[in-house]
Amino acid sequence: MTKILTPLAEHDVATRDGLWMSPADAEAVTGWTLKPEGMCRADRCVPLHPSTLGTDEVDVAAFWTKLGGPVVASEQHDVWALGAPADERNAALEGLEAPDFTLPDVDGVPRSLSQLRGKKVFLATWASW
Amino acid sequence: MVVAVAEESRGAEHARPWIEQAKSDYWQLIDTEHRLEDLYNLVNVPQAIWIGETGKIVRPPETAGSTDHFRRMNLETRTLSAEDQAERLAARQAYMDAVRGWVTTGKHALPADAARANLPRITPQIAEARARFRLGVWLHANGRVAEGDMQMAEASRLHPDSWSLWRQAADLDEVGKAGGPEFWKRVRALGDKPYYPPPKL
């Protein structure tokens, strides 16, 4: 199994030759669905080059790179990270909608920014270092 | 509502003493992978984002009450002059007052165009740095320390403006290293550039 880290999750997926995987796994990892038009999410489809499609499999590294997202791997290529595309992050911020997130509190209880809708939120970072 | 997020790849237990000492009644969250920095393009701590009732950003990421007075610290005694200490506390108070002013009257919230204009721009290099940092933290946490360090070093090379990436990696290497001689060397290399750009209040 290959470990794939995405901005919000971790996945253990059967892959070959990099990040070739089944369309179902590709959808679970990326949130994009393989359709005849390409990889699709909501009303957007990204056409894929035929060389990145096989019999019931898709090259997710090639797709993610085409999307503009960084694809990096460990030396043994057993752990990969797919980063958020810069354009996607910029577009989200320029809309000024505060990106939602869920993080645990110190006792492990998950908390989401969206739970605070209707209140002003002063969101601040700190660190022990 | 205050939401305080610890950018802390060593995990919750490492942050717990500070959180318990704060005795806060607001959320204290733990961000081991620095997800918030990825989402909001943050580069240092403390930084803050002001979010209005409708979920819109009304002040983009900015320094939250800290100043550059520490750069004049006497490194032997770890102390500031009385004047610098007073100025530092005054700046912190001014920022706290601004936050309170926003909560009670709406003052200091920026119009959408101004908020948008002050957003930090994410580049493909920054996006790659975030991915490498995420991979580095995972490798580090799973016993592949040297390889993790290499990924985090590459992240810092790609995004040299991020103090968080560099300091977190230094801290994972050894607690205290994030504020050690290499840190001060990097701070001195800033020259006239600020370490904590003051918020435009």
Least CB-CB distance to A83: which of B112, B130, B151?
A: B130
Mind telling me how many Å the CA of A96 is from chain B's nearest CA? Answer: 5
- CB under 8 Å to B77, separation ≥6 — which residues? none
Chain-chain contact of A126 with B115 (C-beta, under 8 angstroms)? no
Cα–Cα distance measured from residue B125 to residue B155, given in angstroms and rounded to the nearest whole number: 9
pLDDT on residue B195:
98
Contact criterion met (CB < 8 Å) for A124 and B46: yes
Q: Do A126 and B127 touch (CB under 8 A)?
A: no
**Three-state SS for A34?**
strand
Entry pTM:
0.94
What rounded mean pLDDT belongs to chain B?
96
Give dist(CA B116, CA B111) in Å, integer. Answer: 9
Chain B residue nearest residue A100, CA to CA: B39
Residue-level pLDDT at A122:
98
Q: pLDDT below 70 — which residues of chain A? A: none
Distance from CA of A33 to the nearest CA of B (A): 22
What separation in angstroms does the CA of B195 have from each of B37, B62, B96, B122? Answer: 17, 12, 20, 19
Q: Which helix (H) or strand (E) holds A30?
A: helix A23-30
Break chain B into its structural domains and give their ranges.
65-119, 124-189
User: What's the burial of A105, exposed, middle or buried (CB within 10 Å: 0-12/13-18/19+)?
Assistant: middle
- Condensed to tens digits (0 to 9), the pLDDT of residues B38-81 reads 999 999 999 999 999 999 999 999 999 999 999 999 989 999 99
Query: Stretch B148-172: mean pLDDT, rounded?
Result: 97
ipTM of the complex: 0.96
Are B147 and A74 a contacting pair at CB < 8 A?
Answer: yes
CA A54 to chain centre: 22
Q: How far is A55 from chain B (nearest CA, A)?
A: 30
pLDDT reported for residue B84:
96
